[in-house]
Structure 1
Amino acid sequence: MCGIAGFVDFRKDTTSETLKRMTDAVTHRGPDDAGYEVYEHASALVGFGQRRLSILDLSPLGHQPMHFGENLIVNFNGEIYNFKEIRKELEEKGYTFKSWSDTEVILKGYDCWGLDVIQKFTGMFAIALYDVSKEEIYLIRDRAGVKPLYYFWDGSSLLFGSELKSLYQHPSFKKNIDVNSLALYLQFSYIPAPSTIFYDTYKLVPGHILTIKLKSKELKTDKYWDVFDHYNKPKLNVSDNEAIEQTHDLMKKAYEYRMVADVPVGVFLSGGYDSSSVAALLQAGRTDKLKTFTIGFNENEFNEAPEAKKIANYLGTDHTEWYLTAKEAGEVLPLLPEIYDEPFSDNSTVPTVLVSKLARQQVKVALSADGGDEIFGGYGKFSQAEKYTTGMPSAVQKILSTSMSLINPEYIPYFNKQYNFTTRYEKMKLIWKSQDPVQAVKYISQYIPEREVESFLGKSFDRYHTFFEEGDKVLKNDGVTNRLLAIDYKTFLVDNNLVKVDRATMSVGLEGREPMLDHKLIEYLAQLPSNFKIRNGVNKWLLKEIVHKYIPKELMERPKRPFIAPLMIWFRDELKEQLRYYLSETNLAKTGVFNPAPIIALREDYLAGKRVNYQKLWQLLVFQLWYDRWIQKL
């Protein structure tokens, strides 16, 4: 696990000192070693930099950038879990190895099979590979998007890095805020790929390769894997027992792969089905106790720690918990824009950062259970979207939507005093207008509807294309659940959950691994009919059947609690002054992107105790913190 940075400069004026600054900006991702190299090409200067977190082969032989002969150079962030199998295959073809690192396997695998070697990889990775003889550079991102990869292109300079803060260090980079991307952020609390907060700056979409041709200055992007392709395959005709057995075997193998390390490994345990499956399958058959970690809250309605402790005790893990206070949360707030250098306001960033800090005291690798909701059907929004769009005739939906457009919800007695009513009214109007479950999930996922975003910005904005608009690319031959899972996989999972965990873990030099996102497990589940995921109103039916083999049902079955900090309580008390300061008229106006009046009105309604969705204010506050750190102070 590492942080990478680099450039392709067709102006040929980037210095090695600039490369060092770009690379060292992500020192937290790799505090154990550093490498910086600049290569001269007739058309451009090429720079590769890497900060290393030593997980496999702790010796200097794992140093990067790594070379093979005179023609191949690699810069790599991530882990190839099956590198030993690939290495053995290469050795049978006559290749020899100097190290026990997966990086060397990438190089020699490419030398043997070219870019087809990527299809052999099981892992998480962001790779920059320079083929000197072909005069091409490849940027490659793993199938699920566990590892981040950003790039900037202005026609003369291509900059890339694991985090935006690396790009900030290059003089060619322009911090021009894209208001259309800001609108996406305000809607979802994250910015869906490939967009970023800046113009000319992009996230490489998971499962894609960006090729830079040095002679022609041409950039092209190619797809090598897409979860849609697997959802579109014919559905498997298997029995319940066959599906349970096959899924269990794939999970067990995927989980064990993520334990491969030359350093201590632990597990984040919330006590829910996803993380409990990881802990249960890995602890079974082990004599040594698995280390598990949990964050708790003193506010009972948000606290999962007691349930997690019960699961840990039942499984016999070595469990550590930390109860988070509002004071400790307040101390983390100023750190968030440093950790998340693009506006990002998932409401569990604070506890995720702190559970990573907790785990890093004992281990160097932590397994997280992200992806379980997206691949097994865990979120209530999936059932809601189906009910809202198929639960009544389309003609009735159309009439309701049209009628709602004629009525201002703020003037509807009684209801206008209910929690977040105006927003929910707007969402239902749009859902019934679309009559499409994929669009329904999009609207359900929006914290701030587009109309309200326009009021906050004081103007209209362009609607950027996202994967929410690609629902028709998933076949409609199996109800709606599988379609919704496929879309959620390419939106909320990638650009919210995986961003949250990657930045939080790497901020403390902890490698986060995602065992539920093994591509072979995902490919199999994608071909299972929808009723293996949600059956008779039971979410995650298949996963629950597997977990109940290890943990009694009565210990697992309880109301689902989201892993979020109790911000709505803290912002009315201990953190109230921070909310007032950053969402003041002066601070809102200085960004040049907001219309302060409706935001201040929302803030005052919230502080007065009205039933306002605090998440809207949290998103605005996080943007203000980010702006203050990365735009105002630089």
Structure 2
Amino acid sequence: MAAKNKIANINTFSIGFSTIEEEMGNEFYYSNQVSKKFDTNHHKYSINDNDLYDNLDSVIGMMPEPMVSQDASAFFLLAKQVSKIQKVVLSGQGADELFGGYFWYDLMNKAKGSDYQKFSQHYFDRDYDDYKLTINKEYIETDYSKTLIESFFSKYNDTNLSFLDKVLRIDISKLIIDDPVKRVDSMTMSWGLETRVPFLDFELIEFLLSVSSENKVINNGKYYLKKIAKKYLNKDLVDRKKYYFPVPPLKIIKGKFYDYMREVLSSSQCINRDIFNRQNINYLLEKPNSNFTKLNGNKLWHLALLERWFQLNIDNKKPTSN
């Protein structure tokens, strides 16, 4: 839109990591196409494994809460570079939630059962059974996620909203704020970089809430947004399969990344905390690249990140006795 309005010298930015095995580490091929189409000043940053490794503690330390998504590191390292050029950027956060872009929306809409049953089959990256394998028995209690989600759905009991309308409203009011926006904001503000999210304009949100959610998920999701995008971009670019942002060293865990996670989970702090099932830790360390979540997150990385977050944000900030 800025390019169409003849705004000159538009900067665009993308970041990439090393490719490991068949796990591609960047999307430069696609970002180059967009930059060329709109004649932007495109800045590409290739982050080597040493830079990523050296910043792991900084990334985790800046998290207001544990954030297992691989792209937190990408946002942190990208913001570090972008902040040297400008202090405000635009981000596309919120598009998937508003326009129905996630693949699980259509899957859960076609599922059978109660609202919660349809939701839980396809929404949770890791379910309650997985949680029970991860945590020591004395910490296993009620399935609080189930209670929480059922309470969200109950707010719409007296409405004529469809199941999918309810789901997108839950995501717009809960997920956007507590996950993608918080993740991006905490990582970019680490470098004094302000991120603005045009898709979260309240008038746009209000309008899209009036549009049928069932129509949004046509043709693999974001039907309306893709229809607009095809006026400006090649069809192949717009219709390519949605993919999570790749940070291969945090998915295919080897070398010093494995050593980092092993040391975190074998530390006296982790052992004394005694929250995690030690048998499960040993299993993940023995087979670091055989245990992935539904969304292809590495379970060893998830666990190591959580423990390291405890160490950096709780253990290191405990008041000392006089």
Question: Which residue is 1:323 aligned to?
Answer: 46
Question: Which residue is 2:14 aligned to?
Answer: 294
Deviation at 1:568, TM superposition (A): 4.8
Question: Which residue is 1:461 aligned to?
Answer: 141
Report SS of the residue matched to 1:322: strand
Which of 382, 406, 414 is 2:105 aligned to?
382
Aligned length: 306
Question: Which residue is 1:446 aligned to?
Answer: 124
Question: Which residue is 1:496 aligned to?
Answer: 179
**For 2:123 and 2:18, how far apart are their aligned partners in 1?**
28
Question: Which residue is 1:166 aligned to?
Answer: none
User: Please, which runs of 5 or more residues in structure 2 have no aligned partner?
Assistant: 318-322
Question: Which residue is 1:486 aligned to?
Answer: 169
Report SS of the residue matched to 1:293: strand
TM-score norm. by structure 2 comes to 0.86
**For 1:317 and 1:449, how far apart are their aligned partners in 2?**
43
After superposition, the C-alpha distances for 1:382-428 in whole angstroms (9 at most, x for unaligned) are 01112332xxxxxxxxxxxxxxxxxxxxxxxxxxxxxxxxxxxxxxx
Report SS of the residue matched to 2:314: helix
**For 1:611 and 1:624, how far apart are their aligned partners in 2?**
18
Which of 279, 282, 285 is 2:5 aligned to?
285
Higher mean C-alpha deviation, range 591-600 or range 464-473: 464-473
Alpha carbons of structure 1 residues 289 and 468: separation in structure 2 relative to 1, 3 Å: farther
**For 1:360 and 1:441, how far apart are their aligned partners in 2?**
39
Return the letter of the residue paired with 2:103.
G
TM-score norm. by structure 1 comes to 0.45
Report SS of the residue matched to 1:491: helix
After superposition, the C-alpha distances for 1:54-94 in whole angstroms (9 at most, x for unaligned) are xxxxxxxxxxxxxxxxxxxxxxxxxxxxxxxxxxxxxxxxx
Alpha carbons of structure 1 residues 468 and 552: separation in structure 2 relative to 1, 3 Å: farther
Return the letter of the residue paired with 1:441.
F
- Indicate the structure with greater strand content: 1
**For 1:566 and 1:480, how far apart are their aligned partners in 2?**
35
The reply on whether 1:307 has 2:27 as its aligned counterpart is no
After superposition, the C-alpha distances for 1:303-346 in whole angstroms (9 at most, x for unaligned) are 21210111011011111011122222111211123211322222
Contact 2:291–2:298 (CA<8 Å) still a contact in 1?
Answer: no
After superposition, the C-alpha distances for 1:511-564 in whole angstroms (9 at most, x for unaligned) are 1111100111011110112243122x3411111111112223234332222113
Contact 2:98–2:208 (CA<8 Å) still a contact in 1?
Answer: yes
- Indicate the structure with greater helix content: 2
Question: Which residue is 1:578 aligned to?
Answer: 260
Alpha carbons of structure 1 residues 623 and 486: separation in structure 2 relative to 1, 3 Å: same
Question: Which residue is 1:632 aligned to?
Answer: 315
Higher mean C-alpha deviation, range 314-323 or range 548-557: 548-557
Question: Which residue is 1:543 aligned to?
Answer: 225
Return the letter of the residue paired with 1:610.
S
After superposition, the C-alpha distances for 1:447-478 in whole angstroms (9 at most, x for unaligned) are 33223323332222244453563124336745
Question: Which residue is 1:335 aligned to?
Answer: 58
* Larger gyration radius, structure 1 or structure 2: 1
Contact 1:583–1:621 (CA<8 Å) still a contact in 2?
Answer: yes
Question: Which residue is 1:603 aligned to?
Answer: 285
Contact 1:379–1:539 (CA<8 Å) still a contact in 2?
Answer: yes
Deviation at 1:580, TM superposition (A): 1.0
Structure having greater relative contact order (Cα 8 Å, sep ≥ 6):
2
RMSD: 2.3
Deviation at 1:296, TM superposition (A): 1.8
Contact 1:292–1:318 (CA<8 Å) still a contact in 2?
Answer: yes
Higher mean C-alpha deviation, range 511-520 or range 301-310: 301-310
Return the letter of the residue paired with 2:110.
K
Contact 2:66–2:309 (CA<8 Å) still a contact in 1?
Answer: yes
Alpha carbons of structure 1 residues 567 and 481: separation in structure 2 relative to 1, 3 Å: farther
**For 1:447 and 1:588, how far apart are their aligned partners in 2?**
24
Percent identity reads: 26
